[in-house]
Amino acid sequence: MMATAVSASKIRLKVLRQDGPNASKHWEEFEIPFVEKMNVISALMEVRKKPVTTDGKSVQPPAWEAACLEEVCGSCTMNINGGIRQACTALIEEVGVLNGDAFEVTLEPMKKFPLVRDLIVDRSKMFENLKKVRAWVPIDGSYDLGMAQPQDDGVRQLRYALSRCMSCGCCLEACPQVNEKSTFVGPAALGQALLFNLHPVGKTLEKERFEFLTGDEGITGCGNAQNCVRVCPKSVPLTRAIAQLNRDTTVYKVKKWVGLA
C-alpha cells in the first residue's frame, strides 16, 4: 500500500556517484521539499537547481538521462530502491520509503551496461544485439510495393505487443543470464527477432536469424527465470516470444538436419 503522503514534508535522495568509468564510487545525499505526484526525474531536477548535500557540501549535480518523460524513449532507466524501472513514471510516494517526515529514495545506475557517469550508462550493446538478430525489414528503396498480404489478427496483435519494446534495458538488467561471463544476447533481442520473423517481408531473413539464435549467443542462453516480463515497463510478452522461438528453432534444426532447411 502507498505510504501516506501528507505525513511527508521532504524527499531524501541518496545517489551513487561516479565521475567516469574508472573513477571511484561514492554516495551523496540530498534533501528537497516533498511535492505530491513528483517523479524521480522531477526530484533530480530540483536537486540540480541547488546541488548541496545534506552535510552542506556544494557538488556537481547528478547526471542522468531523460527525454520523453512519458515512458516511451526508455532513456531514464535506473535502479530505484533496488528495483529496475523507468524514473519518469516512478512517483516518489510510490517508490519512496517513508522514514519519519521524509521519503527516502536510493538511485543507482544499471549494472549490466558500461557506466558513463553517475546514473548514465552506455546501452550501445542493445543496438548491437538488434544487428545480430537482423531486426529490420529488408526493403531497399521507398517505392510502392502494393498492398501488404492479409495477416491473422492474432499474429497482428502479437506483433504490436512485441513492437512496444523501447530498448530501455530493464529486461537485461533483471536477467540473471545476462552477465560478464555469458554471451547470451538477452530477452529484448529475442523478442525483436520474433517480431521480424512474423513480418511478411521481414520473414525473408528468418533463416539468418535462426542461425544466430541456435548459436552460442542465442536462445539456449535463456534460463527461463522470467524476470524480464516482470520488469518490462511496456508489458512486452517476452516469455511467450522465447517459447515460440524455442519451438521454431527446434523445427529449423530438425529440418536442417534432414536437409529440408
Residues 230, 127 share a domain: yes
pTM of the full structure: 0.91
| Number of domains within the chain | 2
- Domain span including residue 133: 123-138+148-257
Residues 172, 252 share a domain: yes
Residues 223, 157 share a domain: yes
Residues 184, 95 share a domain: no
Q: Output the tens digit of pLDDT for each of the chain's 261 residues.
A: 344 555 789 999 999 999 999 999 999 999 999 999 999 999 999 999 999 999 999 999 999 999 999 999 999 999 999 999 999 999 999 999 999 999 999 999 999 999 999 999 999 999 999 999 999 998 777 667 677 778 889 999 999 999 999 999 999 999 999 999 999 999 999 999 999 999 988 999 999 999 999 999 999 999 999 999 999 999 999 999 999 999 999 999 999 999 887
Q: Is residue 53 domain-resident? A: yes
Q: What does the pLDDT read at residue 3?
A: 46
Residues 101, 205 share a domain: no
Q: What does the pLDDT read at residue 261?
A: 77
Write down the H helix ranges in the chain.
Answer: 40-49, 92-95, 124-132, 153-163, 170-174, 187-197, 206-213, 227-231, 238-257
CA distances to 34, 64, 146, 148, 190 from 120, rounded to whole Å, are 25, 5, 44, 41, 25
Residues 132, 78 share a domain: no
Q: What does the pLDDT read at residue 149?
A: 75
Whether the Cβ atoms of residue 50 and residue 13 lie closer than 8 Å to each other: no
| Domain containing residue 253: CATH number | 1.10.1060.10
Residues 238, 127 share a domain: yes
Residues 169, 113 share a domain: no
CA distances to 28, 90, 104, 146 from 100, rounded to whole Å, are 20, 21, 10, 65
Q: Is residue 105 domain-resident? A: yes
CA distances to 26, 176, 182, 255, 256 from 244, rounded to whole Å, are 44, 21, 22, 17, 18
Q: What does the pLDDT read at residue 106?
A: 98
The C-alpha cell that represents 208 in the structure block? 539468418
Q: Is residue 143 domain-resident? A: no
